[in-house]
Amino acid sequence: VQLQASGGGLVQAGGSLRLSCAASGYTFSRCAVAWFRQAPGKEREFVAGISRSGANTLSGSSVKGRFTISRDIPRKTVYLQMNSLKPEDTAVYYCAALQTIVSAPLPSTSGAYDYWGQGTLVTVSS
């Protein structure tokens, strides 16, 4: 599975962005997918995850109620809709995938994920 993240950019506080994670590879439909982010000098942080079917999602506490993860299975793409952005959301955002079984819980630790995209920079100005 290869992942390509896009959609980052510069936005003012309170604005919105939508990130996309496009995948190649026939096993993507068997993968749970997550977004992580890493700000300068900070550890990588779990943002949101979605199950292989799209039925289950999980959000990190710092983005709950503001960010929404979704997936378009035929297009092999996972989206992260980010609303009410804050300067502290500034980071490089990475998508990651994990081949898993249908009933498996969504992991929120980066070490659980096998495939990673290259990252896209989101900058939120105050």
Per-residue pLDDT of 70-93, as tens digits, reads 999 999 999 999 999 999 999 999
Q: Are 24 and 76 in contact (CB under 8 A)?
A: yes
Task: Give CA–CA dist 63/8, Å, rounded.
Answer: 16
pLDDT tens digits for 36-55? Answer: 999 999 999 999 999 999 99
pLDDT, one tens digit per residue, over 4-41 is 999 999 999 999 999 999 999 878 889 999 999 999 99
- From edge to edge, which strands make up the β-sheet containing 17-24? 2-6, 17-24, 77-82, 67-72
Helices (H), 40-117: none
DSSP 8-state class, residue 8: -
State the Rg of the chain over Cα.
13
Residue 38 main-chain phi, psi, to 5 deg:
-140, 120
